[in-house]
Amino acid sequence: MNESSADALTQEALSHWYVRLLANGVSYMDASEVIPKVRSWREWCRLWMDRAAVREREAREMEEAGRMLSAAEAYVRASLAYHFAQFVYHEDIELKAEAQRRKVAAYQRGAPHLDPPAERVEIPWPGGRTLPGVLRIPEGAKGEDGAPCVVLVAGLDSTKEEFYTLEGVFHARGIATFAFDGPAQGENADLQLQPDFERVVSVVMDHLAGDARLDSSRIGALGVSLGGYYAPRSLAFEPRLKAGVGVCGPYDMGEIWEGLPALTRQGVCASFQTENEEQGALKSQEISLRGCLSGLDRPLLIIHGARDRLCPVEQAHKIAAEAGDSCELVVYEEGVHVCNNIPFLWRPLAADWLADKLDVDT
């Protein structure tokens, strides 16, 4: 696809997030076949939902043949296609919501048969709501007091289902994972974004601490993109977290607002439920680590890409400077946003680092 064959928003999405699709489990075949069909950004969601339906039919055929693990993996592929149909799409809210529902349904159809199985958890949240999550405990996760666990924190437009490929890196090291949808994420897209996300993570920690299969003294957190802000902030305020990793998150979103892609600004406005972009710009200033990390007494790893055009690397340096000796900073010169072009480098690094901090013998 060249610039004359699609509109500006489609080009923006591809420029910033094409590698994200591939890094998180969308096949090159699907990307290379669906994307060239997009002529207008309004078409994006429907075209990807059509492809997701194809992958879902394949999953059902495998299921009917009794190939349960294969079917489960195929349902994940369908779920990811539904997810990326709507991830930064705000043109048709009803269609976006339909893609969200189908994403969850497809994932849940395969969840019990994944290896390790994905157990749906619903943690009570105010207003009669829940924080829906996915707990996966690998067979090799060991410990006298239960398995170590990493809480995976999504960003502005990622959700619990998008972590599938990342989860496997931790499972291979004997670490359980818990991914969830917080306010303004996934199944909770209608709840307003909460800058003080440590309140959300504390509720998650309350639940995990009550699960006898997990070692509550060996729980860490990893967040990507806006989750790379949520995770360090949660580490600063939630003492039960033993360590944290932030990947390409902002130090202060207000500082970088003007340089954000239009689709990201749309997402921030939608998540804060503002009436216009001017209000969104003001609300973005609430997303700040300023003054939060001074005196941090547990280890923090910050990973960033020098070629990140969404969240400039200077933001990572500010996080590291405020966190001081508790923080390790790794900058990949070739890395883009979330270093999605080099997942084979940063993911093992983060998993090994957390394994060490959580006292996991790998």
Contact between 100 and 86 (Cβ < 8 Å): yes
In the set 5, 15, 217, 225, the catalytic residue is 225
Beta pairing, strands 129-136 & 119-125? antiparallel
Contact between 167 and 117 (Cβ < 8 Å): no
Cβ within 8 Å of residue 73, ≥6 positions away: 110, 114
Q: Which two tokens stand for residue 91?
A: 């043109």
Contact between 215 and 209 (Cβ < 8 Å): no
Specify the length of the chain in residues.
362
CA distances (Å), 87 to each of 54, 77, 143, 195, 341, in order?
Answer: 19, 15, 37, 20, 18
225 has catalytic annotation: yes
DSSP β-bridge partners for residue 135? 119, 178
Residue 261, phi-psi category: left (phi > 0), alpha (psi -120 to 50), beta (remainder): beta
* CA–CA distance, 131 with 125 (Å, rounded to integer): 6
Question: Which pairs with CB-CB distance under 8 Å and at least 24 residues apart come from 266-271?
Answer: 266/88, 266/90, 267/88, 267/90, 267/156, 267/157, 268/156, 268/193, 270/90, 271/156, 271/184, 271/189, 271/192, 271/193
Beta pairing, strands 129-136 & 327-332? unpaired
Contact between 131 and 123 (Cβ < 8 Å): yes
Q: Which two tokens stand for residue 149?
A: 């666990």
* CA–CA distance, 261 with 300 (Å, rounded to integer): 28
Active-site annotation, residues: 225
